[in-house]
Amino acid sequence: MLVWSRSGRAFVWALFALVFTPVVLGPLAMLVIAAFAGDWNGVLPSTWTTEHFRDATDGTNLDSVVVSIQTALLAAGIALVVGTWTAIAARNAPRPVRRIADAVLHLPVAVPSVVVGLGMLVAFSDGPLLLNGTKWIVIAAHAVLVVAFAYATVSAGLDRTDQAFADVAASLGASPLRVLFRVRLPMLLPSLSAAASLALALSMGEVGATIMVYPADWRTLPVSVFTLTDRGKVLLGSAVTLTLLLATLILLTVVGLLRGKVEDRRSH
Amino acid sequence: MTPPALQARTEGLVTAELTVAAGEVVAVVGPNGAGKSTLLRALAGLPGPARAAVAIDGEPVGTRPPHLRRVGYVPQDGALFPHLSAARNVAYGLRGRGLSRREQRAAAHDWLTRLGLGELAARRPGQLSGGQQQRVALARALAPEPRLLLLDEPLAALDVETRAAVRHTLRSHLGPYDGVCLIVTHDPVDALSLAGRMLVVESGVIVQDASAAEVTRAPRSAWVARMLGLNAYEGDGTDDGVRLADGHVLVGADPAPRGRVLVTVHPDHVTLYRDPPGGTARNAWHGTITEVTGTGTRLRVAVHGSDGPDVVAEVTAAAAAELGLGEGLGVWIGVKATGVGLTAL
């Protein structure tokens, strides 16, 4: 424990509450209030309504929910496969190769997401690979942006799983493929599920690159929120944000449940 | 004529040639970094700084990847798969030999029962003690009936009591085992009680390959002699005796062989005096006691030599009391010529 005295601990908690309440809790509470607000002229709304929330889960806004979830699942899936593969391959590669892989995979985090979006736009607006105007440019942009986090999370997990396990598995007659699927990946499961959650959450909230590249028929939730508030529809925007939060929460819960299920199944 | 169970020649960081008969247990000993683990990894075909041409029962397997060699390998900490139960760990190596899942599971339970772990089959490695984990690792390595079993310091991580129990388990299972077993160890007790043959490795070279009895009688390396509890010095043989690096000369009962010589002195043969000794001891020099450690009625006294080499003496507690031995005390060291062993290197 860092702070031992009773009064000291009370002070630290008070300080934490003082910072946490206005910075994190306040905006979230206001968002929920705004989503259900009818008229809002005073400190708090004078009338309440579920109209915005109904609008937010209806028509084009509902489409946005579906688009966001699909984008997140595809981008996270791609990022997870590419990130895990690169992390495992890089670990066994010679040092210079590993450093280059490290640098390249971390690049998307280092540059602003707008730059990634613009780069995608320039690269894929003409042949040979024409993605601009399709949903695939959004998915590709998201995959590029989240692959760094998948790679970093899996690499960190790999450092802890010793080469000894793979050696022993091989001495027990397991082919490299079987070692990968029955030893290495199962031992990496906590990292894989963490990487998946992180990738999903980041993709659900991505706006910087998406706004540069999205076509009319593939508008993600954060872009909807942005355009709505831009047009002054703050209350509807709040309601859409609430659906975004709910959708993200459901996705992450599903990932957690899946992980639990896999762990249960193979323990016997 | 049947070919030997194991024939191997390694190159790289470790260069060794090795022929072992079926059923033989070989202890691989040597200082840290000598290349013991490297030798084992090379034999198993695992990536490392040495490669080996290996023939098992006359069949060359050196070009095969590790999973096609039928070589059981147990690294230092056992490396049980943490995500699998003990039974599934043991069953891991039983795949692909035409056994049904039920038969694999039954065989795994059988092995665990044989090693006294029947009730713990469903436990994960994290729920087992160190000794239990090591036994599961052993069961897992033995289950696929490998022709070559490689154990890398199987007892090093265990406490004294557990060590004795697992050593007993090892001995009772290595006895009837008809393959070749190589055990890396630091502990003379393990080496002598488990193996009939000792392979002494130093700086990537085999310096002695002989029966355990022969190595104990005439060790050919200072490191092994010290591991066995002897005083050991290297020097050059001359007409007067063996001249050590510091110029001191030790004399044995027999004339010293020419060239590099290993001098061994059993701590029992070292006598300590408060006054300069008389004519009986051919070798006498002066020193200061640095440490006194005791086991029952015998005490081990480490002495730093002031005009001769450092030495360890074993004296009875009664003699120590009579001489008033204690740390910091100046003493005379005497070694009779008959107590000095000389081996040409």
Beta bridge partners of B124: none
Domain assignment of residue A182, yes or no: yes
Residues of B in CB contact (< 8 Å) with A are 41, 44, 46, 65-75, 77, 79, 81-85, 92-93, 95-96, 122, 124, 140-141, 144, 146, 150
Say whether residue A47 is in contact with chain B using an 8 A CB cutoff. no
Q: Searching chain A, which residue's CA lies closest to the CA of residue B122? A: A268
**Model confidence at B50, in pLDDT bands (50, 70, 90)?**
confident
**Which member of B67, B71, B74 has the closest CB to residue A175?**
B67
Number of Cα atoms under 13 Å in the Cβ half of residue B246? 9
Q: Searching chain B, which residue's CA lies closest to the CA of residue A188? A: B83
Reply yes or no: is the peptide bond before residue B82 cis, omega within 30 of 0: no
Query: Does position B155 have pLDDT exceeding 80, yes or no?
Result: yes
Domain assignment of residue A200, yes or no: yes
Residue span of the structural domain in which A102 resides: 67-221
B269: helix, coil or strand? helix
Is B75–A164 a contact, with Cβ atoms under 8 angstroms apart? yes
**Which member of B66, B82, B85 has the closest CB to residue A171?**
B66
Domain assignment of residue A8, yes or no: no
Is B85–A268 a contact, with Cβ atoms under 8 angstroms apart? yes
Domain assignment of residue A48, yes or no: no
Domain assignment of residue A235, yes or no: no
Chain A residues within 8 A of B92 when measuring between CB atoms: 169, 172, 174, 182
Give the pLDDT of residue B149: 93
Give the pLDDT of residue B293: 87
| Phi, psi values for residue B249, rounded to 5° | -115, 130
Query: Does position B290 have pLDDT exceeding 60, yes or no?
Result: yes
Q: Minimal Cα–Cα distance from B292 to chain A, Å?
A: 41
The structure tokens 């022929």 sit at: B19
> Shortest CA distance to B196 belongs to which of B25, B312, B5?
B25
Query: Does position B26 have pLDDT exceeding 60, yes or no?
Result: yes
Is B67–A183 a contact, with Cβ atoms under 8 angstroms apart? no
Domain assignment of residue A263, yes or no: no
Q: Which of A56-70, A81-95, B118-132, B301-315 has the lowest mean pLDDT?
A: A56-70
**Which member of B70, B81, B85 has the closest CB to residue A165?**
B81
Q: H-type helices in B45-156, by residue range?
A: 86-91, 101-114, 130-142
Task: Work out the burial of residue B330: count CB atoms within 10 Å of its CB; fewer than 13 is exposed, 13-18 middle, 19 or more buried.
Answer: exposed
Is A267–B124 a contact, with Cβ atoms under 8 angstroms apart? yes
Domain assignment of residue A100, yes or no: yes
Retrieve residue B16's tokens: 């060794």
* Residues 6 or more apart in contact with residue B279 via CB below 8 angstroms: none
Residue B182 and residue B36: Cα distance in Å, rounded?
10
Is A164–B95 a contact, with Cβ atoms under 8 angstroms apart? no
Per-residue pLDDT in tens (0 to 9) along chain A, 268 residues: 677 888 889 999 999 999 988 888 888 888 888 888 888 777 788 888 888 888 877 777 888 888 999 999 999 999 999 999 999 888 878 889 989 988 998 888 888 989 999 998 888 888 788 888 888 999 999 999 999 999 999 998 886 667 788 889 999 988 888 888 888 888 888 899 999 999 999 999 898 899 888 998 888 999 988 988 898 888 888 888 888 998 999 999 999 998 888 877 765 5
Q: Are A164 and B75 in contact (CB under 8 A)?
A: yes
Q: Are B326 and B293 in contact (CB under 8 A)?
A: no
Give the pLDDT of residue A266: 64
Give the pLDDT of residue A140: 92
* Domains of chain B, earliest start first: 6-218 (3.40.50.300), 229-344 (2.40.50.100)
Out of B46-50, B149-153, B314-318, give the one with best mean pLDDT.
B149-153
Chain B residues within 8 A of A259 when measuring between CB atoms: none
Give the pLDDT of residue B1: 61
User: Among B37, B67, B111, which would you mutate to test the A interface (most chain A Cβ atoms within 10 Å of its Cβ)?
Assistant: B67
Look at chain A and report how many structural domains it folds into. 1
Strand segments, DSSP code E, in B185-337 are 197-202, 205-211, 231-237, 242-244, 249-250, 259-265, 270-273, 283-295, 298-305, 311-316, 330-335
What's the complex ipTM?
A: 0.80
Strands of the sheet containing B249-250, edge to edge, are B249-250, B242-244, B231-237, B259-265, B340-344
**Model confidence at B253, in pLDDT bands (50, 70, 90)?**
confident
The strand pair at B283-295 and B242-244 is best described as unpaired
Q: H-type helices in A124-233, by residue range?
A: 135-160, 163-171, 176-179, 185-205, 210-213, 221-230
**Which member of B75, B92, B124 has the closest CB to residue A172?**
B92
Domain assignment of residue A22, yes or no: no
Helices and strands of chain B, counted as H and E runs: 9, 20
Retrieve residue A219's tokens: 């508008």
Q: Searching chain A, which residue's CA lies closest to the CA of residue B79? A: A165
**Which member of B41, B71, B85 has the closest CB to residue A267?**
B85
Give the pLDDT of residue A267: 57
Is A168–B79 a contact, with Cβ atoms under 8 angstroms apart? yes
Q: Are B230 and B219 in contact (CB under 8 A)?
A: yes
Task: For chain A, give the mean pLDDT.
Answer: 87
**Which member of B67, B83, B150 has the closest CB to residue A174?**
B67
**Which member of A167, A182, A268 has the closest CB to residue B46?**
A167
Is A172–B83 a contact, with Cβ atoms under 8 angstroms apart? no
Q: Searching chain B, which residue's CA lies closest to the CA of residue A264? A: B83
**Which member of B44, B83, B140 has the closest CB to residue A266?**
B83
Q: Searching chain A, which residue's CA lies closest to the CA of residue B121? A: A268
A178: helix, coil or strand? helix
* Residues 6 or more apart in contact with residue B29 via CB below 8 angstroms: B36, B184, B185, B186, B191, B198, B199, B200, B201, B224, B227
Is A173–B95 a contact, with Cβ atoms under 8 angstroms apart? yes
Say whether residue A105 is in contact with chain B using an 8 A CB cutoff. no
Does the reported pTM lie above 0.80? Answer: no
Q: Minimal Cα–Cα distance from B109 to chain A, Å?
A: 13
The structure tokens 């060794």 sit at: B16
pLDDT, one tens digit per residue, over A50-86 is 888 888 777 778 888 889 999 999 999 999 999 999 9
Q: Are B48 and B87 in contact (CB under 8 A)?
A: no
Output the domain CATH number for residue A167.
1.10.3720.10
Say whether residue A160 is in contact with chain B using an 8 A CB cutoff. no
User: Among A168, A189, A268, which would you mutate to test the B interface (most chain B Cβ atoms within 10 Å of its Cβ)?
Assistant: A168
Alpha carbon of residue B161 to chain centroid: 19
Is A171–B73 a contact, with Cβ atoms under 8 angstroms apart? yes
Chain A residues within 8 A of B122 when measuring between CB atoms: 268
pLDDT, one tens digit per residue, over B89-117 is 999 988 877 788 888 899 999 889 888 88
